[in-house]
Every structure is written in structure tokens, then in C-alpha cells.
Amino acid sequence: MNIRRVLLDVDKAIQRPEIIDIAHAIDAAPGVAGLNITVTEIDVQTVGMDITVEGDNIDLDALFRAIESTGAVVHSVDELAAGERLVERIARKR
């Protein structure tokens, strides 16, 4: 399956790793063409982040290993887009 975009919920400790270290590790994973790290929550001990990765044939296992090798933890996959092209999500009106 050609994974083209993945949105991850990731936590890291306040002190280490630095966000730039996580970005370097993600960028080196097979299939990654670009990424965005957004800090969503900060508490006394941890920083919560949404990490969006785009590319072509992203290797999810290698991506998770790259993130976890920095000391950060992947909590969940919150979005995954795959196929020949990206399909943008359209929010439902309720």
C-alpha cells in the first residue's frame, strides 16, 4: 500500500529529545518527503505533539522506529492517507 500521509500523536519529555532531533530522525525514514511538527500540549514533564508526515510509500515501521529512537513515544495514528493520490478530509456538518 502506498502510504502518502500520516498524522501521529507523539509525546516527548520536556528536556529531551529536542524537536529538531525528532525532525531529523523522521526526515531520514524511507519515503518521507516532508513533515510538520506542531506542539499541542505542554505539562510539567511532557510535550504533546501532532506530527504530519507526507511522502510516497512511507515505511510506517521505519518511521515509528525513527521517532522512538530519539526517546519520543508514538501514542496513535490519527490519520492515514494512501493510494495514488491524496484525498483531503471534508468535515461533516452535524
- Give me the domains of the chain, ranges plus CATH numbers: 3-82 (3.30.70.1340)
Quick: pLDDT tens for 35-54. Answer: 999 999 999 999 999 999 99
Distances (CA, A) of 22 to 35, 63, 77, 86, 87: 11, 11, 17, 25, 27
Averaged over 8-22, what is the pLDDT?
Answer: 96
- Those residues with Cβ within 8 angstroms of residue 40's Cβ, 6 or more apart along the chain or in another chain: 48, 49, 50
Q: Where are the alpha helices (DSSP H) in 5-57?
A: 19-27
Q: Which pLDDT belongs to residue 62?
A: 98
